[in-house]
Amino acid sequence: MDLRVGRHPVLGDMGKGTPVTIYVDGRPLTAREGEPIAAALYANGIKTTRYSSRSGEPRGPFCMIGRCTECAMTVDGVPNVRTCLTPVRDGMRVETPGRSRS
């Protein structure tokens, strides 16, 4: 079963996308160039995008259209990037905020 997003309600058709490598918490993952980072994570079995600053509970994408901020991660050193709207580029470095709390 392919868990990739074919058509995103904001970004549009994803197409096939060239396979690229991104690094999530230092771990290399194969993604497709242009797909949302959150979709690439989901396709690789990663459902946690941050940890709650209050409870430490894992949180994950909810709306996938840029409204809820549950998908906010640190991307190439920039904090609070909405990964549901940010297209994958080769070599991106993605970090899970609050990861050390778990």
Q: Which positions touch ligand FES (CB under 6 A)?
A: 61-64, 66-71, 82, 84
Residue 28 or 79: which CB sits closer to ligand FES? 79
Q: How far is the CB of 37 from ligand FES (least distance, A)?
A: 10
Q: How far is the CB of 55 from ligand FES (least distance, A)?
A: 19
Assess contact for 36 and 92: CB atoms under 8 A.
no
Residue 20 or 71: which CB sits closer to ligand FES? 71
Return d(Cα 43, Cα 65) in angstroms, integer: 17
Q: How far is the CB of 64 from ligand FES (least distance, A)?
A: 5
Residue 29 or 64: which CB sits closer to ligand FES? 64
Give the alpha-carbon dihedral of 14, 45, 98, 10, to 10 degrees: 20
